[in-house]
């Protein structure tokens, strides 16, 4: 019954897996391991320089040096970004998915409209909202003027970060919506019919039937939202370039690696720290969401 024959032919499946395994090691596992190793060294971005083991000095410099307050602020800002984006993005996406699941006229067109920002790309989305939030002639500012309110938007020390959160949600909400919509369409219709016979209301049907059965979709969306939010730096780079109290851990990794000093140990340590933060929240979130999943 073995389809690859006997003798040396039995090695064919392993040879087929060897190429993707090598690609994974070279382009993912290898760099990840090297990042952890670099975080314990004083490696410089200069070929031929001597590399020395420095232990936890890079981590101490990140968290307890003279400018550690900025690092802690970036960590706190990243956590705030993650919580707000995860809650609002999935809440809005679920609401839109429930509405579109009612088989409204033109629902396919609505799906395309909501998913369009994901396709546009970060550069285009950032440009669109930079024009929309132009503090002089932008449409949003003109709308604010009707109520006697003015704002500098991405140039505001108090509001810029919230506007970035809005752009993040606007861009990726459609992706979460499609996942929820796929989960909603997989729920058997006869369960709703049985609930209707028993006299359940729409809210009771959603709470007792829909929500438990789309829990796997919630798990996936929570996981993707947490990881995506903690890794976001491109929108920040394109809109504020980290100014006006908008720096996050991901942006700091980018800045220290490509626009900071020649020291590679510090950004490597920051990357490891970011990974650990993401890992903790992902494990906790997945564990909690798995307990709510049911089989049917």
pLDDT band per the 50, 70, 90 thresholds, residue 88: very high
CB atoms closer than 10 angstroms to residue 114:
22
pLDDT band per the 50, 70, 90 thresholds, residue 172: very high
Q: Are 88 and 144 in contact (CB under 8 A)?
A: no
Q: Are 175 and 115 in contact (CB under 8 A)?
A: yes
Which pLDDT does position 89 carry in this prediction?
94
Which pLDDT does position 54 carry in this prediction?
86
Q: Is the pLDDT of residue 295 over 60?
A: no
Burial of residue 92, with CB atoms counted within 10 A of its CB: 0-12 exposed, 13-18 middle, 19 or more buried? middle
Greater pLDDT, 65 or 4? 65
- The mean pLDDT value of the chain amounts to 85
DSSP code string of 21-62 = HHHHIIIIIHHHHHHHHHTTB--BSSTT----B-TTHHHHHH
DSSP code string of 123-191 = HHHHHHHHHHT-TTT-HHHHHHHTTT----GGG-TTTHHHHHHHHHHHHHHHHHHHHHHHHHHTS-HHH
Q: Is the pLDDT of residue 1 over 90?
A: no
Which pLDDT does position 77 carry in this prediction?
92
Angle at 275 between CA 158 and CA 76, to 5 degrees: 25
% of the chain beyond a pLDDT of 70: 94
Element (H, E) at 276: helix 265-290
Q: Are 249 and 75 in contact (CB under 8 A)?
A: yes
Which pLDDT does position 93 carry in this prediction?
93
Mean pLDDT of 77-101: 92
Burial of residue 48, with CB atoms counted within 10 A of its CB: 0-12 exposed, 13-18 middle, 19 or more buried? exposed
pLDDT tens-digit profile of 207-260? Answer: 777 788 888 888 889 899 999 999 888 899 999 988 888 999 999 888 888 776
Which pLDDT does position 16 carry in this prediction?
81
Q: Is the pLDDT of residue 2 over 70?
A: no
% of the chain beyond a pLDDT of 90: 22
Q: Is the pLDDT of residue 134 over 60?
A: yes
State the Cα–Cα distance between residues 31 and 24, nearest whole angstrom. Answer: 10
Q: Is the pLDDT of residue 85 over 90?
A: yes
For the ranges 113-127, 157-171, 183-197, which has the lowest average pLDDT?
183-197
Q: Which residue has the tokens 């704002």?
A: 151
Tell me the angle at which helices 160-185 and 68-100 cross, rounded to the nearest 10 degrees: 40
Per the DSSP assignment, residues forming a β-bridge with 44 are 263
pLDDT band per the 50, 70, 90 thresholds, residue 6: low
Using CA of residue 202, residue 208, residue 210, residue 211, what is the dihedral sign? positive
Which pLDDT does position 87 carry in this prediction?
93
pLDDT tens-digit profile of 106-125? Answer: 778 888 888 899 888 888 99
Residue 244 backbone phi and psi in degrees, to 5: 60, 45
Which pLDDT does position 292 carry in this prediction?
66
State the Cα–Cα distance between residues 46 and 42, nearest whole angstrom. Answer: 11
Per the DSSP assignment, residues forming a β-bridge with 263 are 44
pLDDT tens-digit profile of 196-205? Answer: 777 777 777 7
DSSP code string of 76-122 = HHHHHHHHHHHHHHHHHHHHHHHHHTT--TTHHHHHHHHHHHHHH-H
């Amino acid at each position: 019954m073995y389809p690859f024959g006997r003798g040396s032919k039995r090695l064919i499946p392993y040879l087929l897996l060897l190429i993707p395994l090598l690609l994974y090691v070279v382009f993912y596992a290898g760099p990840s391991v090297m990042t952890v190793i670099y975080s314990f060294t004083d490696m410089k971005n200069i070929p031929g320089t001597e590399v020395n083991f420095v232990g936890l000095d890079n981590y101490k410099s990140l968290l307890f040096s003279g400018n550690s307050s900025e690092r802690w602020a970036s960590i706190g800002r990243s956590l705030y970004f993650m919580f707000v984006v995860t809650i609002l993005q999935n809440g809005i996406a679920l609401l839109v998915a429930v509405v579109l699941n009612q088989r409204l006229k033109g629902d396919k067109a609505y799906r395309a409209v909501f998913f369009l920002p994901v396709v546009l790309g970060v550069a285009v989305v950032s440009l669109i909202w930079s024009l929309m939030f132009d503090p002089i002639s932008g449409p949003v500012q003109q709308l604010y003027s009707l109520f006697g309110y003015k704002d500098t938007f991405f140039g505001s020390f108090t509001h810029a970060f919230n506007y970035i959160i809005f752009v993040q949600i606007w861009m990726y909400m459609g992706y979460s919506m499609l996942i929820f919509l796929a989960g909603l369409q997989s729920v058997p219709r006869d369960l709703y019919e049985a609930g209707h016979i028993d006299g359940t209301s729409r809210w009771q049907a959603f709470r007792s039937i829909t929500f438990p059965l789309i829990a796997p979709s919630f798990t996936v969306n929570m996981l993707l939202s947490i990881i995506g939010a903690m890794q976001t730096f491109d929108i920040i780079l394109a809109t504020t370039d980290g100014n006006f109290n908008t720096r996050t851990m991901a942006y700091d990794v980018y800045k220290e690696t490509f626009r900071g000093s020649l020291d590679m140990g510090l950004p490597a340590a920051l990357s490891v720290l970011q990974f650990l933060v993401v890992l903790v929240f992902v494990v906790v979130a997945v564990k909690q969401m798995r307990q709510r999943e049911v089989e049917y």
